[in-house]
Amino acid sequence: MFDSLKDKLGRFKSDVEESAEEADEAAAAAASEAKETDTAEQPAGPDSEPDADSESKSGDDTSFTERAKMFATGKTKITEEELEGPLEQLELALLQGDVEMSVAQSIVEKLREELVGQTRAQVKTGEIVVEEAIGEALKEVIGVGQFDFDERIAAAEKPVTIIFTGVNGVGKTTTIAKLSKYLEDRGYDVVLANGDTYRAGANEQLREHAEALGKKLITHEQGGDPAAVIYDAVEYAEANDADVVLGDTAGRLHTSNDLMAQLEKIDRVVGPDLTLFVDEAVAGQDATQRAKQFNDAAEIDGVVLTKADADSQGGAAISIAHVTGKPILFLGTGQGYDHLETFDPEVIVQRLVGTSELEA
């Protein structure tokens, strides 16, 4: 995941470094010329008047002279002119990589703020400066609303009830099975509940996972009340000292009023601790927009992105938290029950920027 986006960010670093090197070469030449001029000129007498033409020229070349002086002392300054071209190219590349427009603009503006006017020692290459700036910009974008899922589960009163929602066919049921294994590995007793009571085969699909994982499954007949199923699962968990209830729901669009009403009823009857939105990472901006629409219609607490292993762009993973204000918690990275990766912004940023020198 993120291979394409990492490549785009790498090209931006190279573009900025190239622009900075060209400016530094010009500054070095100016510093050399200024030194030669100073050597050739004789000191003025105490009563001599400054030449008007020299004053005018000095005023016109202030920024260039300043850069030359900085270079002579082993420092350089990144200018807005150096960055403008690379930033425009980066914004276009982010949009082509399925990063949502407002998110791409936010990253670009943050980079401009971080880099323009920054002084750097020559021994610290421009590439490192840019890496740090990209890292900070990305962390600000993808770390919105982030919380530690494990700590949240550990601190919550048991049983913890987690509801999964999203459109059809994005991997909600498989994600439930994976999270069940994830929680079992951390010592929790998990109960599964099939609130997807309208889809033919939904009971059988979740039952196969429950049997493979050795989990209790609560189901009703097809066409039953989803809220009643999940309520019964919570009752069972309370009676049997289970720790977590994972409830599936019917795939739905935010425009499906009856299905959204079911979510509202589940919220009233059960009061879930967390509602997680599931979508495919490969859906890109479609996933970002759906996450926003679901959050607007029935507030979500976090996001799980499936098929992250098949997504070279990473646009949805970069965009969703910024657009919804709700964090990505997990990435599905394969078909196995163990193929569920915690979404850690620090790790993701290091993977994207390709450096271990970012500050925590």
Assign residue 101 the CATH number of its domain. 1.20.120.140
Q: How far apart are CA 115 and CA 111, in angstroms?
A: 6
Do 221 and 326 fall into the same domain?
yes
Over the chain, what is the mean pLDDT?
A: 80
Q: Are residues 191 and 325 in the same domain?
A: yes
CB 257: neighbour CB atoms within 10 A? 11
- Arithmetic mean of pLDDT, 283-299: 85
- pLDDT for 255 equals 56
- Bigger pLDDT: 330 vs 56: 330
CATH number at residue 201: 3.40.50.300
Domain boundary among 90, 120, 142: 142
Domain ranges, residue 66: 3-142
Beta bridge partners, 275, equal 163
List, in order, residues 6 or more apart from 66 with CB less than 8 Å away. 77
8 close to 48: Cβ distance less than 8 angstroms = no
Three-state SS at 303: strand
pLDDT digits (tens, 9 = 90+) for 163-192: 999 888 899 999 999 999 999 999 999 999
| Co-location of 191 and 251 in the same domain | yes
Q: How far apart are CA 204 and CA 307, in angstroms?
A: 23
Q: Check whether residue 339 and residue 193 sit in a common domain.
A: yes
- Give a yes or no: residue 253 inside a domain: yes
Which structure tokens are listed for 7?
């490549």
Specify the residue for token string 């098949």. Answer: 310
Q: In this structure, is residue 304 part of a structural domain?
A: yes
Query: Over 60: is that where the pLDDT of 144 sits?
Result: yes
Question: Judging by DSSP bridges, how do beta strands 160-165 and 274-280 pair with one another?
Answer: parallel
Nearest to 164 by CA among 17, 276, 23: 276
- 52: confidence class by pLDDT, cuts 50, 70, 90: very low
Instruction: Please report whether residue 360 resides in a domain.
Output: no
pLDDT of residue 60: 43
Indicate whether 358 belongs to any domain. no
Q: Which residue has the higher pLDDT, 44 or 95?
A: 95
The total number of structural domains that make up the chain: 2
What does residue 342 show for φ and ψ, rounded to 5 degrees? Answer: -65, 135
**Euclidean distance between CA atoms 355 and 187, whole angstroms:** 34
Q: Which two tokens stand for residue 330?
A: 């997990």
175 and 138 part of one domain? no
In degrees and rounded to multiples of 5, residue 57 shows phi and psi of -65, -40
Residue 320 has pLDDT above 80, yes or no: yes
Q: Is the pLDDT of residue 229 over 80?
A: yes
Q: Supply the pLDDT for residue 55.
A: 44
Among 87, 112, 142, give the residue marking a domain's end. Answer: 142
Which tokens sit at 140? 């600000």
pLDDT in tens, 30-44: 555 555 555 555 555
Q: Are 183 and 153 in contact (CB under 8 A)?
A: yes
Is the pLDDT score of 360 beyond 60?
Answer: no
In a shared domain, residues 221 and 263:
yes
Q: What are the CA-CA distances from residue 72 to residues 33, 38, 43, 158, 359 (Å)? A: 11, 14, 21, 65, 29
The pair of three-digit structure tokens given for residue 87, joined into one six-digit string: 């930033």
**Separation CA 97–CA 316 (nearest Å):** 9
**Residue 163 and residue 285 in one domain:** yes
**Distance set, CA 39 to CA 33, 35, 42, 89 (Å):** 10, 6, 8, 43
- Which of 142, 176, 192 is the last residue in one of the domains? 142
Together in a domain, 320 and 177: yes
- Six-digit token pair at 23? 């400016």
Going by pLDDT thresholds of 50, 70 and 90, the confidence category of residue 64 is low
Q: Distance (Å, rounded) from C-alpha 256 to C-alpha 226?
A: 15
The CB-side HSE value for 169 (13 A sphere, CA atoms) comes to: 3
Residues 164 and 247 sit within 8 Å (Cβ to Cβ): yes
User: Are the C-beta atoms of residues 290 and 167 closer than 8 Å to each other?
Assistant: yes
Residue 127 lies in a domain: yes
Is 24 within a domain? Answer: yes
Q: Nearest CA to 300 among 272, 342, 261? A: 272
Residues 277 and 328 in one domain: yes
Same-domain check for residues 290 and 180: yes
- Does one domain contain both 127 and 155? no
pLDDT digits (tens, 9 = 90+) for 231-253: 999 999 999 999 999 999 887 66
Got the DSSP string for 4-65? HHHHHHHHHHHHHHHHHHHHHHHHHHHHHHHHHHHHHSPPPPTTPPPPHHHHHHHHHTHHHH
- Decide if 210 is inside a domain: yes
Q: Indicate whether 129 and 162 sit together in one domain.
A: no
Q: Can you say how many angstroms the Cα of residue 95 is from the centroid of all Cα atoms in its chain?
A: 15
Q: What is the mean pLDDT of residues 95-116?
A: 87
Q: Phi and psi dihedrals of 164, rounded to 5?
A: -115, 135
32-41, 132-141, 289-298: range with lowest mean pLDDT: 32-41
